[in-house]
Amino acid sequence: MGERKVRHFKRRVTPKSAGMRLDTYIYVSGAGVSRTQIQRAIKEGKVKVNGRVARASYKVKAGDLIEAELEYYEPPSEIVPEEGEVDVLYEDDDIIVINKAAGAVVHPAKGHFTGTIVNVLYNRLLNAPGAERKRPGIVHRLDKDTSGVMVIGKSELAVRDLARQMATKEARRVYLAVVWGRVERAGTVEAPIGRHPIYRERMAITVINAKSAITDYRPLEVFPYATLLEVSLRTGRTHQIRVHMEYIGHPIIGDPVYSGRDVGKITRVLRGENAPVEEILTLIDRQALHAHRLTIRHPRTGRTMEFVAPLPEDMDRLLNFLRTRSKG
């Protein structure tokens, strides 16, 4: 697991931060540990507000003194720098914005210790003269087979501020998804997401150890048996869009985990519509989900910045097929 360490956190709440949940306040204040580690410390009574143990749901007030002992573990080995290509949309001394390719793993983990975006960016930063930090600061992630725009922090200021923007949803992420079936109206899905009780690699709509999840969507193009949706997140749960689209009966085309390649379930979604399902599935071998647009406030200048990642070739091919069939 690595070497156990303790980080001492001490902050006085400002009026601007009043009203935040205690766990969120610590996280966005640059504690430098994960939400899970913060919540564990709170449960163990290692977080105090004005000298008293408090719950994660406590809403902080201006003037509160927050003190915490936060345990974390140093990785047992260094990230291996590797040469490789990333599609860079923008870069300065604080941030790097990339267009992540489908199939690319973001961060080293079990089964993927090398060949990840972090390995490549680590190599890039090591060879960049004057770079403030050498490890790329991952503040949000995309699933392995989801493509699109990501921002990574290059300075300590950027990592802290971008993490805060992601947590408070000041940063806005907009996705494009091609789903099975006709979606005629815009809508919102509000359904809690937690780990699947049987298939642990999956997420599911459940009330057991779940977190609230809210997804907004609106149709951009409606085809006879599919819809191009614009999707935005009010929360950021694992597999959120994929789970929510399956939940409302419109799984993402090509999704191998959440019914997007299950011909039997797709047939039920289409309700007798004579669609070339198997032909469509040959056009894309992953979920048709793309992080299209990201809006952030630059952590140093405060300037609002918007980045757009163009549709990848497989989703473009899929949409062209659907458009051609619709005209025919």
Helix (H) or strand (E) holding 227: strand 226-233
Please answer whether residues 312 and 291 qualify as being in contact, where contact means their C-beta atoms are separated by less than 8 angstroms: no
Please indicate whether residue 143 is annotated as part of the active site.
yes
Catalytic residue among 23, 64, 94, 143: 143
- Count, in order, helices (H) and strands (E) of the chain: 8, 16
Please answer whether residues 132 and 155 qualify as being in contact, where contact means their C-beta atoms are separated by less than 8 angstroms: yes
Please answer whether residues 219 and 184 qualify as being in contact, where contact means their C-beta atoms are separated by less than 8 angstroms: yes
Among 210, 215, 280, smallest CA distance to 242 is for: 215
Tokens of 89: 């949309």
SS3 sequence of 265-321: HHHHHHCCCCCCHHHHHCCCCCCCEEEEEEEEECCCCCCEEEEECCCCHHHHHHHHH
Among 135, 155, 6, smallest CA distance to 78 is for: 135
Residues labelled catalytic: 143
